Structures are given as structure tokens and as C-alpha cells.
Amino acid sequence: MTIVRDSFYINGEWVKASSKDTLEVTSSGTGELYATIPSGTVEEANEAVEAAAAAFTSWSNVSPKERGEFLQRISEKLAERADEIALNISNEVGMPLMLAKGIQVGIPTATFADNAQRAMEFTWEEEVGNSSLVREPVGVVAAITPWNYPLHQIANKVAASLAAGCTVVLKPSEVAPINAFLLADIIHEVGLPKGVFNMVTGLGPVVGEAIVAHPKTDMVSFTGSTRAGKRVMEIASQMVKRVSLELGGKSANIILEGADLTKAVPDGIFKCYLNSGQTCSALTRMLVPRSKLSEVEDLAVAAAAGFQPADPITGTSFIGPLVSAAQQQRVKDYIKKGVDEGARIILGGTDAPEGLEKGHYVQPTIFTDVKNSMTIAQEEIFGPVLSIIPYDTEEEAVAIANDSLYGLAGGVWAESDEKAFEVARKIRTGQVEINGGAFNIFAPFGGYKQSGIGRELGKYGFEEFLEVKAVQHG
């Protein structure tokens, strides 16, 4: 049965959309219609901002303890409905259900709980010389989020904003929006005061640009493509608004001469292919010593055998389909481009995986003999495509890793953590994992260069939504 949502969440109420225009959401696994949502107008976006602005003074004066208690209740409700939300995101995005509950729901659940604690424990005032430094919420936040980790990205912005005392207008991705409606249902259920959280669905050039441009929006927090992020920054600059951007990535995974290839290569495959490669921080460039290239190729193909796509709901694979037909075609076009530019395919290609002609599936693909100047090594593909790039010296490996418009994440494998850390210090990115380090949801996440501005998650993500006021004493 198709899910139908026909209202926006504005000023504490579900408000019927003024237009009959709807947006269709497809099931990633079947390509069939999964849901319809309303397509918002500029007027509805403006109404949501006005509601958030009207609620700001009272919400910012609610005690941090009480704000934290609201966030804790939201976290608990998300946990209660984890199975339902995970099933929804698996349908929308294509992450296998066995992974979605822990990643797509578990991480945002923890993020709301973490920000609940931050609100209650944060030091809001300190003394420096003859000044009292006061931390205050930045104001009304326009939050615009993507589809690949939809609830996770919403939580990064909404939980931190609310904990800081800001009010929020959310425009979730129209490609994977139903999880946002479920969150709004939960927020309504816990009784968050009217106007503190608002949500309008629709297209970026309409709803997104309207909430960015509105004079009562104080800050924009955006996650998405670098192209769209530049547009957000351009609009926000007209009123000198604070902007936080989490954009693209083309992260390098340097495997050094002394690394254990039997551990490094399978770990790199997993971190490239997770969520069908639809991860901004995916380790999509595997840099290997030229002398080890043949061995790495064999290990990579063997490891990728465990990533044959399957239905995200009923299958037992670590990889499912891509989010949409458009994304499927985009990835196939990049694979063709790699072949045209002379890279060599050792696994995968553009043909549909066997038995999966319906839905948005792409074969996990590995290119080798890739030059870093090639399109597949420079542009973000956002699919299960790995580029293996040989190097001759450690210095060359670092230079290749840094030869990118992006600087979001990276990896280093070495014979010791000390050696890996030494090389990690030379990589110009916001995060680097060494010897298979796991993602840390309490560490700051964000990038250098065209990967963005600002940080999300943990202490640093929370402080993005605060202003500092100095009060001088006589």
C-alpha cells in the first residue's frame, strides 16, 4: 500500500498543503511507487519560518535541563519505533534492513540522547578577566538534509539546534522523506512547544531557497552536493547569515608498504561499498604500493564477492540497490566514463546484477590502473565503485590523497598505529581513520576545502548553533 502524507508540520500542528501538487517516492528495491508527499510552496516555507521566529524567545529561555528532557524523550520514542523506521529507510534508500536498524536509526537515536546530555551539562557562562562570556542560541535554523542517511542527517541538525535553544525549519530530502514525517509525529507526541520544530517538504529551488532567503532565518545548516551548497552560501551571503555546510567527498584510503593487506583491503571494500557507496565519506580511492598492486587486486575481488546486491528487505547481503533510477543512471555513466578514460575494470560493470532487473541496482565495480587525474578519481560517484590507484613512494601517496577538490575523510593502513598517525597528519581532511578505525558519532564530522564549512556531531556540532557574547564588567 502506498504511503500518503498530505500535510506539513507548522507551529505544532499538521497543516494541509495548499497545493494538490505532490512528489512521488519510489521503492529503491522495486522501482515502484512507495509514497507521495506534498510539494510545498514559498508561502508555506515562509509560514514555517515565521512560526519558528515567533517561538524562539520562549524556547531559548526554557531551561537547558528541560530542553534536554524533551530530546531524551524523542530519543526514547525513536528507539521504540526503530523497526518501523528502519523498514521505511530500507525501502526509500536501499540500505539492507539488517544494517539499517543499527546505522540509519541507531545513530540518530544516540545523537538525540547525546545532545540531551549536552544541553544539561554544558557550561553556558565563563569568566575571562573582567568579562562574562555567555553562550546563546544563534536563532532560527534552516536545516536542509539529504537522502543517503536521511534521519541521521536530520538528527545532526535538529537535535543540536534544539539543545542549543534554537528553533528549526526542516526541509528533508524529497527522495527519502517519510522518516522525517515519522520524526515529526514523535516530536508532536512528546509535546514540544509550538513553533520550535517545523517541517515543510518540497523541492530545493522552491522550499529550500525560501527558508534560506527568509530574513528571519539566522543560520543555515545544509548537507548535500557541493553544487547545491554553493547556491545555499550565495543566497545566505546576501544577509551575512551563518552557514554550516557538509558537502561532497572523494576520500583516499592509503595502504602503506608495511600494512597487513589481508585486513586492509577487505576493510577498504566495506567502507567503499557501505550503503551501496551512497556515503559522502566513503573510501572510494584505494592507494596501494605499485609492487603490491596485483595482490591487492586479487584480495579486492575476493572481498567484493561478499557484496553481491540483494533485496534490501528480504536479502542477507551487505549491499542493496541505489536510491533512485536517476542515481542508478548516474553511476552507470561514471562506470562508462572510467572505461573510456582507460581505467581497467576487474569486477562489475554497467550490466544489471543477475536476477535484479527491477529496482535500482548496480553491480559493485572495481577499477584498477586508475590515474588520479581521471574523472572517476576526481568526481564523487555516490555508488559502489572503487578506484585502485598505484603509487611509488609514500610522499606520492600523500600527494595523490590531497590532489582533490574535497577534504572530508580518509584512511591510512600501516604496520603500526604510530606510522599511520604520522601519515594521517599529512592528509588535508576533516577525518582520517587509521588501521580500520570505526566511525565515532561523538567526534566532529566535516571537511576541508570544498567538502564544507563547520562540524557536526558531538561537542563541536552542538557549538555550531551557539553565539558567544562578552559582557565586560566595570
**Enzyme catalytic residues:** 246, 280
Q: Which three cell numbers stand for residue 376?
A: 572517476
CA gap 427, 416 in Å, rounded: 17
Sign of the alpha-carbon torsion through 56, 58, 61, 65: negative
| C-alpha–C-alpha distance, residues 297 and 368, integer Å | 8
Contact 2, 25 (CB under 8 A): no
The cell for 429 is 581532511
DSSP characters for 266-334? HHHHHHHHGGGG--TT---EEEEEGGGHHHHHHHHHHHHGGG----TTT--SS----S-HHHHHHHHHH
Strand order in the sheet with 285-289: 344-347, 365-368, 385-391, 285-289, 252-255, 410-413, 433-434
Q: DSSP states of 423-448 as a string?
A: HHTTS-SS--EETTPPP-TTS-B--E
Which residue in the block uniquely carries the three cell numbers 539529504?
146
Determine the residue type at 366.
I
List strand residue ranges (DSSP E) for 150-226, in order. Answer: 167-171, 197-199, 219-223
| Nearest C-alpha neighbor of 412 from the set 443, 391, 383, 385 | 391
Alpha helices by DSSP H, listed for 223-283, are 226-237, 261-273
Q: Rounded to an integer, what distance in angstroms lies between the CA atom of residue 59 and that of residue 69? A: 13
3-state class (DSSP) for residue 341: coil
Q: What are phi and psi of 22, to 5 degrees?
A: -125, 160
Whether the Cβ atoms of residue 36 and residue 2 lie closer than 8 Å to each other: yes
Q: Which residues contact 278 (CB under 8 A, 6 or more apart)?
A: 93, 94, 148, 322, 323, 327, 382, 383
Q: List Cβ neighbours of 471 (8 Å cut-off, separation of 6 or more).
A: 131, 132, 133, 134
